[in-house]
Every structure is written in structure tokens, then in C-alpha cells.
Amino acid sequence: MAQAWMPGVERIDAAAAPAPPGFGAPRAVWTVTGTDPGSRSSAEEARRLARTGQAVHLVWNPRTGEVVQSLAATRRSPLPLGSTGHGAARTDHGHEGRVCLTVAVVALAETPFTDGPMHGRAPLLAWMDSWEVSRRWLGPGGDGSTLRASIREWSLGGHFGRDRVPGSHGSCPGRVDGARLLGEGAGLSPTHPRIPAQQPSALT
């Protein structure tokens, strides 16, 4: 049975208000903190994000393996993930899916974290597996292009860079290698027309 809190990791409860359950396939959204993993801990970044109203479910430092959880899987992150709609009918995609888990990696967007060590990756992914987030990554990645998901692709669930969420105007997490992050054999969606990449900036 899936646990709302990842076992064995530090908790910094951001006390987000409960949200109604979503519908559709579970998904995870990855971003980066825009800080050096050699000088910033996951706990420091989790507190900073919570303090600035950008709390995510997990903050992970791949250099040390430290994982800190700020939100239960049953809560929704306040981090805007891109929206679609017209006028007042805009919909934040972070409130869709049975779960929408957000992960902030302590890393710089211009230095892909998948190029270095990823200590602690296995238990982190295992916890997301328990929430039935398919190990599917949108797009080949790795070339610096921004490849946004269509609504249909988003509805299928899986793992997405924040820049690939429909309606996103961000550029994080950068040139992430989805196959290396999720493991060999991870599903990659077909290539689609690319939108030129924007300059990377932390959590945008």
C-alpha cells in the first residue's frame, strides 16, 4: 500500500491545505532549485521553498542522497505548473491526476543533474512507483530544447520536466536525461515539434 510520507526521510511539514482528489493518471513533475548541491542541503532548500510559498513534495540532493519531504503525497504543491483555459477558466495542472508529485532537485539548470552521481535515486523512485507513477519520460531530452507535452500526453501520466508541462513558461530542470534518471528501459514519448529553449532560471 502506498504511504503518504516516504519512509526513512526527514520531514519538514509545509502544512498545505488538503485538496480534493484529482482524476486521471498519476504523474511526477521535476524541477531544480537553482542552487549548488555541494553547498546547499535538501533541508535548507525545503525550508526556503516552504517559506516562499513554493513547497514541493520532495527535495533531493543527488550528490549526497539526502531527501526531505515537505508535503504528503495526498496534498497538492502550491508550485504553479502551467495552466490552460480561457479567461477565468484557467486550470493549474498541478491539481490534476490522482497524485501529482513534485520533486525539486538541488542542482543548477545549466549543469544537468543526470550527468553526475544520483545517490538515493532508487528509494525515491520506488516510493513514486508505489503511487503508480509510470516510468515514462516526455521527450528525448538532453539537447536543451523545450518540448512541451500535449494535453493528451499529460493525461497519460508519467514523469515530466517542469518545462514540459502543458502551458508552462519555465525552463527547468534543464537538459535532463530521462532514461538515466528513470533507469534503462524507461519509456520515452515520441518526438514532437520543439519550442526554443528559454534561459534557465531557478524554479521558473
Q: Kindly report the pTM of this predicted structure.
A: 0.84
In this predicted model, which residue has the larger pLDDT, 141 or 111?
A: 111
In this predicted model, which residue has the larger pLDDT, 188 or 47?
A: 47
pLDDT in tens, 48-97: 999 999 999 999 999 999 999 999 999 999 888 876 655 445 566 777 78
With 0-12 CB in 10 A as exposed, 13-18 as middle and 19+ as buried, what is 170? buried
Indicate the helix (H) or strand (E) that contains 165. Answer: none
Domains and CATH numbers, the chain: 10-81+92-181 (3.40.80)
Best-predicted range by mean pLDDT (21-30, 38-47, 183-192): 38-47
